Chain A
C-alpha cells in the first residue's frame, strides 16, 4: 500500500513537472545569465509577460512573475511571501556559483540573513522603525541644499573639460558622499569604501565566480565599520550608525546585525542611486526631445523626470521571494516554499498599466512604477534617491544644452537583478 502511495506521489510530481516544463516553449531560453537578459531585460521579460506572466523557470527553479498588477499586489501582501530568502531557501543559489565557492556563498548568505531587507514581520517592523525616521521625505528634504551644492561643485569642476565618465565622476561619488555623511564616516575614506562596496555588489551579478571578491570585501567592510559601531554605541552622535547602535541597546538588533546593516545602508545608498543617475543620463541622451523638455522647465519637471527614469530603467530589476502558502495565480499553482522572482523591469513596461510603455516620457502622469518596490519593504532610501536624482538631473539640464555618448556602445553588468552600466563616458562640446 505504501508502495502504491509512493508511486502515485511520484506520478503526481512528474505530471506537475510536465505541466511546468511546457512553459519552456514561450521563451528562447530560461537561462537568466544569457546576454540577452542583461542586454535587454525589457524585451526578454516583456515577452514572458505577454505569453506567460506566471512562468515556471526550471533552471532557476522559480516562478517568474512579470505582470504589473501581480507585482504591485504581491509586493504589498506580506503574508503571502517571505523576504527571508537566504534563511528560508534551501535550494542552490541561482545563478549557479562555482562548486569550490560554496563556503563563501554560505558566508554571503549569513550576511544576507541579518539584513533588514531579508526580515519578515514581526522582527522587520522594529528593525525598520529603528532607522525609518531618518529617511522620511521631510527628514531627507533637509539635505536638499547640501546635495544641490555638492552637485554644483562636481559639475563646475568638470565643465571646462568637455567630458566626464558619468559613473565614476558623478553617479558614484555623489550618493556615496551623502551616505558617508549620514553614517558618520570621514569622506576621505569614501574611495576605499566605494571599491569594497562595488565588490560586494558584484555578488548580485551572474558570474559564477562572483562570491570570492564579494565575501572578502564584505569582511573588510565589516572590519572597517566595527570600531565605529563600538564607538557610537558607547558615545552616540546624531548619525545613522548611532541610530542602529541605539537599536542594539534596545535589543532590536544584535551587534552582528548592526554591522551587517551598516554595510547594507552603505551599499544601498550608493549603488542604486548610482544606477538611477547613469541609466537616466543615457535615457536622456537617447531622447533629446525629453532633454529639451526638461531644460525648458528643470524645476517643474525634475521630479516627474526622476519617476520616469525609475520606471523606464529601474536600478533594481527584480527581487527574490519565497512563497509562504499555496497561491493560485494566472491559472498556475504556486506552492508554499516555492521560489519566486518579481520582475520590476517588466512590470514597469506593462501596457496594462502604462500607455506607450516603451517610450521615455518625463511628463508621464500618473506613473505607478514599482522601481522602489512596495509594501513593508518599500525602499527605505526612496526619498533620498529621489532627492539626489532630482538635484542631479536639474543641475545637468541647467548646465548642458546637449550631452553625447562617447563611443558607439554601452555595456551592462551581467545580471538579472540590477541594471548597471559598466561605464558611461559623455561629452558636451
Chain B
C-alpha cells in the first residue's frame, strides 16, 4: 500500500509506561529498557491506529506529524 509514513515521537520525559499505545498500535510502539514506549517503525501500523494510540496516551506523550508539511496530526 502506498501511503505517507507519519513522523511519530514519544517524549521520554512524559511517558509513564502506561503501554496503552503498545496495545493499540503494537507494531509501531515497543518498550525500551526503562519500560517506556519508543517508536520502532512508524510505517508498521495504519495512521488511524497511530492516531488512536496517541489519543489514548493518558499523559499526552505521543506526537504525530505529517512528514511533508510537518503539520501536527496529533495533538
Contact = CB atoms under 8 A, between A and B. Distances in A.
Interface of A: 73, 75-78, 125, 128-129, 132-133, 135-138, 366, 368, 372-376, 378-380, 382-383
Interface in B31-70: 34-36, 55-60
Contacts of A76: 16-17, 34-36
Contacts of A378: 16-18, 58-59
A77 B60 CA distance: 21
B13 A77 contact: no
A378 B56 CA distance: 13
A376 B58 contact: no
B13 A368 contact: yes
Q: Please tell me the size bucket of the interface on B.
A: 10 to 19
B5 to A, nearest CB: 23
B20 interface: yes
A204 B60 CA distance: 31
A372 B18 CA distance: 11
8 contacts: A77-B35, A78-B19, A129-B23, A136-B56, A137-B57, A366-B13, A378-B16, A378-B17
Contacts of B72: none
Nearest to B36: A76
B13 to A, nearest CB: 6
A382 B59 contact: yes
B58 A383 contact: yes
Nearest to B33: A73
B56 A374 contact: no
Give 8 nearest A-B pairs by CB, closest first.
A76-B35, A76-B17, A374-B16, A378-B18, A378-B16, A375-B17, A137-B60, A374-B17
B55 to A, nearest CB: 6
Contact of B56 (A75, A133, A372, A380): A133
Given A73-B34, A77-B35, A375 B19 contact: yes
Nearest to A129: B23
A136 B55 contact: yes
B18 A375 contact: yes
A136 B19 CA distance: 14
B58 A137 contact: yes
A372 B16 CA distance: 10
Given A132-B58, A376-B19, 11 more contacts: A76-B16, A125-B23, A128-B20, A132-B56, A136-B57, A137-B57, A368-B13, A374-B16, A376-B17, A379-B58, A383-B58
A378 B18 CA distance: 6
A138 B75 contact: yes
Contact of B16 (A128, A135, A136, A375): A375
A224 to B, nearest CB: 29
A51 to B, nearest CB: 27
B35 A382 contact: no
Contacts of A373: 16
A4 B68 CA distance: 75
A136 B58 contact: yes
Interface string B1-37: 0000000000001001111100100000000001110
A212 to B, nearest CB: 36
A132 B20 contact: yes
Nearest to A80: B35
B64 to A, nearest CB: 13
Contacts of A376: 17-19
Nearest to A135: B58
Nearest to A373: B16
